[in-house]
Amino acid sequence: MAEGPNPPPVPTMEESNGVYRVHAALPMAGDWTLTLAARVPGETEPVRGQLNIRVR
């Protein structure tokens, strides 16, 4: 995670059925990439993915 004046993302909490909500203060509008990693029961390595986000 990049260093900067903004607070880090708030730790996630499961809402239901594997849905998680994340709150983060982004310093500016633009295109961002959210990189995710999760430990999944039955998998030997964390499952990873990326999500592209446009902030206006």
> What local confidence, expressed as pLDDT, does residue 20 receive?
81
Percent of the chain scoring above 70 in pLDDT: 86
| Whether the predicted pLDDT of 16 surpasses 70 | yes
pLDDT computed for residue 42 by the predictor:
94
Whole-angstrom distance, CA of residue 39 vs CA of residue 8: 21
**What's the CA gap between 55 and 29, in Å, rounded?**
5
Q: Are strands 19-23 and 10-16 parallel, antiparallel or unpaired?
A: antiparallel
Average of per-residue pLDDT across 16-25: 80
Q: What is the pLDDT of the chain when averaged over all its residues? A: 83
pLDDT of 4 > 70? The answer is no
* pLDDT level of residue 52 (50, 70, 90 thresholds): very high
